[in-house]
Amino acid sequence: MATALSLSDAVNRVEPSATIAVTTKAAELRSAGVDVIGLGAGEPDFDTPDHIKEAAIQAIRDGKTKYPPADGLPDLKEAISAKFQRDNELSYTTDQVHVAPGGKPVIYNAFVATLNPGDEVIIPAPYWVSYPAMAALCGGRPVPVACGANSQYKLTPDALEAAITPRTKWLILNSPSNPTGAAYTAAELKGLADVLLRHPQVWILTDDMYEHLVYDGFTYTTIAQAEPALYDRTLTMNGVSKAYAMTGWRIGYAAGPAELIKTMRKVISQTTSNPCSISQYAAIAALNGPHDFLEDRNAVFKTRRDMVVAELNKAEGLSCDTPEGAFYVYPSCAGAIGKTTPSGQKIENDSDFARELLETEAVAVVMGAAFGLSPAFRVSYATSTEALSDAMLRIQRFCASLS
């Protein structure tokens, strides 16, 4: 008889990713013939632009199929360095740049490189599901800080000050945010920076993955740009997944102090070898290539955002703010909690809400519990306008059916 598998304490500290679970469930239902509308996946429905695909095809033809350097091709690092200068007024040399197979491994490599048991990671909630999980897997202690609708889902200087302890190692910022779409202005970042300047032990990991997805003329700023005195302890992370519709290609990157980047290189050299060579050539084309397609795509996203917010606010028991960016909204479902479905199911929390919505109307959303701020749910509007309209009708019908 086989010995029972005994799991690590680290893995026992975390749950599977809820965003991936919901996306997988929607795909399964669809292939089983259910007319499901997936608002769970955080990925653009647009295709990767042709000039990027062509660069990848050319790289294959040119035989760029061998091991590249562990943490990124020199040409990609140059392109990333130029991007930070161009978009964020930040100067990084190529030895300050780390490339990994997606944003997740970048964060994971940084945490493995720096966290000791008990080190605290401040995470404004609602947060992307994987921040606390990755901190916990690396032995750190996630410290969620509730940031509700009254602060537009943003961390305030007072809340940050109250959360910092001598054990605080990292603060995670994510602007525009997954799951709320909220983005910080330069003045708001400066307010946080003033607190951070008083606590030199705190490093800042800023996840800028949705940088290019902002609407209504919002001016994007990242924290090391808002406060250059934080440059020496900020890891500025980004990637090609969202802006260039390249989720499957898996290229994330970050820039920061050379010592940290060197240590992250040690981690990736032992765990991954390198991000895919072909994807890296595609990423070079993305970063160095034309960006005019973004304007058209953002116009579509903005129209969808406005439609989704208006329609969600018409649903009984829901209320939804209009965020600055990303392709998510995070409606509160407080008004539905405590109600009962026509089949007699009591809605006790947002997990019940999301489950019953999927069961009865075949609309997949991610429950707020996964993001650490309830009762709410995340809607990704990175899906066709037609499917979104249908989904909104179904959500309204579901909410109206509750008593």
The residues that touch ligand GLU, with contacts defined as CB under 6 A, are: 17, 19-20, 41-43, 128-130, 178
- Of 22 and 226, which CB lies nearer to ligand GLU in the complex structure? 22
Q: What's phi and psi for 260, nearest 5 deg? A: -65, -45
Task: Tell me whether residue 186 or residue 276 sits nearer to ligand GLU (CB atom).
Answer: 276
Per residue in 338-369, is it b (16+ CB within 10 Å) or e — as a string?
Answer: ebebeeeeebebbbbbbebbbebbbbbbbbbb
Of 18 and 196, nearer to ligand GLU (C-beta) is 18
Give 10-61 as a DSSP string. HHHT-PPPHHHHHHHHHHHHHHTT---EE----S-SSPPPHHHHHHHHHHHH
First to last CA, the chain: 52
Residue nearer to ligand GLU on the CB measure, 156 or 174: 174
Closest approach, Cβ 248 to ligand GLU, in A, equals 11
Q: Least distance (Å) from ligand GLU to the CB of residue 45? A: 13
> Whole-number minimum distance, CB 286 to ligand GLU, in Å?
18
CA atoms in the 13 A half-sphere facing the CB of 357: 33
Least gap, CB of 41 to ligand GLU (angstroms): 6
Burial class (CB in 10 A: 0-12, 13-18, 19+), 95: middle
Cβ 242 to ligand GLU shortest distance, Å: 8
Taking the least distance from each CB to ligand GLU, the nearer of 17 and 58 is 17
For residue 204, the Cα-to-chain-centroid distance in whole angstroms is 16
Smallest distance, ligand GLU to C-beta of residue 95, A: 28
CB atoms within 10 A of CB 295: 9
Is 322:306 a contact under the CB 8 Å cutoff? yes
List, in order, residues 6 or more apart from 207 with CB less than 8 Å away. 103, 107, 128, 172, 173, 174, 237, 238
Residue 180 or 374: the one with the smaller Cβ distance to ligand GLU is 180
State which residue, 41 or 224, has the beta carbon closest to ligand GLU: 41
The whole-angstrom separation of Cα 47 and Cα 54 is 13
| Residue closer to ligand GLU, measured from CB, 226 or 254 | 254
The residue whose Cβ lies closest to ligand GLU is 42
Classify 214 as helix, strand or coil.
Answer: strand
Q: Minimum distance from CB of 262 to ligand GLU (Å)?
A: 27
Exposure b/e, 232-253, CB count within 10 A at least 16 = b: ebbbbbbbbbbbbbbbebbbbb
Instruction: Give least dist CB 178 to ligand GLU, A.
Output: 5
**Complex with ligand GLU: residue 123 or 402, whichever CB lies closer:** 123
- Cα 389 from Cα 94, distance rounded (Å): 45
Under 8 Å CB-to-CB from 137, ≥6 apart: which residues? 10, 11, 13, 14, 108, 111
Least separation in angstroms between residue 391's CB and ligand GLU is: 16
Residues linked to residue 321 through DSSP beta bridges, in sequence order:
none
Please, what is the minimum distance in Å from the beta carbon of residue 23 to ligand GLU?
Answer: 7
**Which C-beta is closer to ligand GLU: that of 178 or that of 238?**
178
Cis bond upstream, residue 176 (ω within 30)? yes
Token look-up 């300047």 returns: 197
Cα gap 242→240, rounded to integer Å:
6
